[in-house]
Amino acid sequence: MKTNTNIENWNLIAKYYANECSQEEIDNLNIWIADNKNNEQIFNQTKQDLELINLTNSMNKINIDSAWEKVKNRIQEADENESVISKSRTLNFSRVFKYAAMVVILLGIGFISNKIYNNKVNNTFVEYLSNSEQGKELILPDGSTVVLNANSKLSFSKVFANNERRVTLEGEAFFDVTKNPNKPFIIETNNAEVKVLGTSFNVNANLPNKQVEVFVKTGLVQLSDASNSNNKILIEPGNVGVLDNKQIFKHTNIDANKIAWKTKEIVFKEEKLDNVIKILNRVYNANIVCTDQAVLDLNYTSTFEGQEIDSILNVICMTFNLKLDSTENQIKLIHHNN
């Protein structure tokens, strides 16, 4: 909260919390709040500050009247030598100085709470852990959305810095970043740094040997070595960028199920059942196993959209005359004659 905010806006905030705003003033205040995020933060933080020190219900009776009395007494002392002060003038000025006193209080609260608030948010990070849950969607402070895959974690500051939007990822997530050319979005993960201005893409750091893989759906994404910013590439839509032991390269994506864990849209075209099982395990965070090599060598073609894992497995079983042997932590595919 900035103490140099236009005093007229502070006056509107003061009148609003004193329940003495006209509809026109409320409309003007809403326009000011909607103008930018900083104004919204000032307004909301003021409310939190007032509630925190229990002023919301008592400011008119105690704080504002008390502050006004002090201001009024000083005015009266300064005007003791004046012979005539009209009653109407005193009444007209009383309301003005009452709001002025409240503005002083709000500015004082704002100045103090600003230091406390900024110190708090600058050192406070939010962490979201998806555990075994897939498709956990988060909305970041800038309006960007993130969908976490299972066993993934995202950490970020409650308020982004002035010059960048930085988050830390462990695991896999799909990002849809709100465009802001003046404030790049940066993802730290393993030994990589992913930088964008506004686009949608998937980051997978849940790979062997700390590899990082970035699949771009829309826009442009920069992938770089965190230890060497000059070691970087730009990734276009439909391509995959990979950082592997300081080696960075990209290739055209040929995996139709690259982000199926998020979309639940799965395509199999003459796919070995061995690979079908691997894809289903990845997409649904499942533990499907099969030890029959004859079954694993079968080819399978089908498309699934938004179906549950049980439904897909039942279709596969009907196709190849298989059956399921399920336990608490495992699903086994076996031939029906076994």
pLDDT of 149 reads: 94
Q: CATH class for domain 264-335?
A: alpha beta
With bands split at pLDDT 50, 70 and 90, how would you rate the model's confidence at 39?
confident
Average pLDDT, integer, range 50-79:
48
Q: How far apart are CA 58 and CA 81, in angstroms?
A: 35
Strands (E), 63-152: 125-129, 136-139, 145-148
pLDDT score of 245 more than 70: yes
Residue 62, pLDDT score? 40
Highest mean pLDDT among 68-82, 117-131, 175-189: 175-189
Do 125-252 and 264-335 show the same overall fold?
A: no
Confidence of residue 271 (pLDDT cuts 50, 70, 90): very high
CA 173 to chain CA mean position, Å: 12
* CA–CA dist 170, 274 (Å, integer): 28
Pick 31 or 178 by higher pLDDT.
178
Helices 7-17 and 87-122, axial angle in degrees (round to 10):
100
Q: Which CATH architecture has domain 125-252?
A: Sandwich (2.60)
Domain boundaries, the chain: 7-122, 125-252, 264-335
In this structure, are residues 167 and 128 in contact, taking their beta carbons and an 8 Å threshold? no
**Confidence label for 114 from pLDDT (cuts 50, 70 and 90):** very low
The answer to which of 95-109, 262-276, 304-318 has the lowest mean pLDDT is 95-109
State the residue for tokens 């708090």.
120
* Region of poorest pLDDT, from 23-27, 228-232, 316-320, 327-331: 23-27
Please classify residue 174 by burial: count the beta carbons closer than 10 Å to its beta carbon, then call 0-12 exposed, 13-18 middle and 19+ buried. buried
Give the DSSP H/E element, type plus range, for residue 314. Answer: helix 309-320
Query: Treating both helix axes as pointing N-terminal to C-terminal, what angle do 37-52 and 7-17 enclose, rounded to 10 degrees?
Result: 40
Nearest partner of 233 among 245, 243, 224, judged by Cα? 224
Q: Say if residue 221's pLDDT is above 90.
A: yes
What region, left, alpha or beta, does residue 280 occupy, with left being phi > 0 and alpha being psi -120 to 50 degrees?
A: alpha
For residue 136, pLDDT beyond 60: yes
Helix (H/G/I), strand (E/B), else coil: 114:
helix
pLDDT of residue 131: 80
Q: Examine the pLDDT at 96 and tell me if it is beyond 60.
A: no
The answer to whether residue 79 scores a pLDDT higher than 70 is no
Select from 140, 139, 285 the least CA-distant residue to 206: 285
Place of tokens 């970020």: 156
